[in-house]
Amino acid sequence: MSSTHKYLFLKAIRNEPIERTPIWIMRQAGRYLPEYIRLKNKAGGFINLVKNPDLACEITLQPLKRFELDSAIVFSDILVVADMLDIKLSFVENKGPVFDKVIRTEKDLSKIKKTDDIEKLDYVFNTIKLLKKELADKKPLIGFIGSPWTVATYIIEGNSSKTFANVLKMLECEEMLLHKILDMLTDISIDYLNKQIESGIDVAMIFDTWGSLLNDEQYEKFSLRYINKIKNGISNQDIPLIYYVRETGNKIKAIKNLEIDVLGIDSTTDIGVIKKQIGNKFALQGNLDVNILKKDQSDIIKAIKHTLNSYGSKSGHIFNLGTGITPDINPDKVKMLIDNLANISSKFNVK
């Protein structure tokens, strides 16, 4: 595609000339912002924000009001797809997501009441429509899904597991059942992403956080195979696709075969190392360690310069953290990061 994009973010994805490096931050609307905590308490919890399009829209825009960010991301969660399986999702303070049902056996699966009615997730599509109006084409909007594999890990465990005991057991003993679950989630994911695109998102992102649990063979079989199915099922192939997986550095050989536009990388591998392996096949997104934001300005500047130098060219890079921002970060440090990045990257002399 040779057209010139109006958004800096999309120009960077397409490797077009840009004046500075764009930035957004995973979980940019969240608990490190006092205005988020206030609205969440008022609404009676995270899920009440997500399911109310007016509030979800307001929360999405909170970080954009504070900082010069280059994209919005829909305020939602990868686990809302549980609505399509009639599984109730709640978020317990300091514990994370909890489901009222799990799928660990064929019998569990047979009891699941799956619907094909994507309108069940209307609150997400209505949030997107509101956001498109509010953003008025000034900033792009990222929509997202979890990878079938990553969503499956939560549906099998029923909560945020540290050990993934049930998931690992299913990987060993119940491959067919696992594939049935992944097929079901893939069908839903395709409809869900297409409906987000229809509602107006400019960029799509797939979070495959727990792809990191899988060895090379399993990763191909249980994760990438389904990512490819989703990619092929996307109705509008002009919408750029970002794929994120933890411990990215261990998986480059397999990832290189994906048909994606941007690879989101975590902080465990230097961005320059990944750039060398990927070349210009995808743009890269990342990968500052969130803990740098606990240090002072000189360390933050040093880390920005290191990341830019390591990537080595101006376009093709979207600045981000390696994981979601944590509640212990002072918002002033986020402003420090964004302002310094704009300054440093605009003077960065390569391409």
- Residues contributing to the site for ligand CP3 (CB under 6 A): 26-31, 40, 46, 73, 75-79, 91, 96-97, 144, 160, 207, 209, 324
Instruction: Specify the amino acid at residue 57.
Output: C
Nearer to ligand CP3 by C-beta: 199 or 315? 199
CA geometry: angle at 18 spanning 298 and 205, to 5°?
85
Q: Name 102's bridge partners.
A: none
CB of 197 within 8 A of CB of 234?
yes
CB of 327 to ligand CP3, least distance (A): 8
- Of 165 and 350, CB closest to ligand CP3: 165
* Other CB atoms within 10 Å distance of the CB of residue 257: 10
Tokens 């964004």 found at: 338
Q: Which is nearer to ligand CP3, 26 or 288 (CB)?
A: 26
Helix or strand holding residue 319 (H, E) = strand 317-321
Least Å from the CB of residue 96 to ligand CP3: 3
Q: Which is nearer to ligand CP3, 16 or 35 (CB)?
A: 35
Minimum CB distance to ligand CP3 smaller for 3 or for 94: 94
Query: Shortest approach of ligand CP3 to residue 73 CB, angstroms?
Result: 4
Proportion of the chain in helix, strand, coil states, percent, rounded to 5: 55, 10, 35
Specify the amino acid at residue 27.
Answer: R
In terms of DSSP bridges, do strands 283-288 and 241-244 run parallel, antiparallel, or are they unpaired? unpaired
- Shortest distance, CB of residue 76 to ligand CP3, whole angstroms? 6
Q: How far is the CB of 46 from ligand CP3 (least distance, A)?
A: 4
- Tell the smallest beta-carbon distance from residue 89 to ligand CP3 (Å): 9
DSSP 250-300: GGHHHHTTS--SEEE--TTS-HHHHHHHHTTSSEEEEEE-GGGGGS-HHHH
Kindly state the tokens that stand for 67. 């900082």
- Give yes or no for a contact between 255 and 269, defined as CB atoms under 8 angstroms apart: no
Residue nearest to ligand CP3 (CB): 96
Minimum CB–partner distance for residue 153 and ligand CP3 (Å): 8
Q: How many CB atoms lie within 10 A of CB 105?
A: 12
Minimum CB distance to ligand CP3, residue 312 (Å): 27
203 versus 314: smaller Cβ distance to ligand CP3? 203
The values of phi and psi at residue 285, to 5°, are -125, 125
Cα dihedral sign, 125-64-330-322 = positive
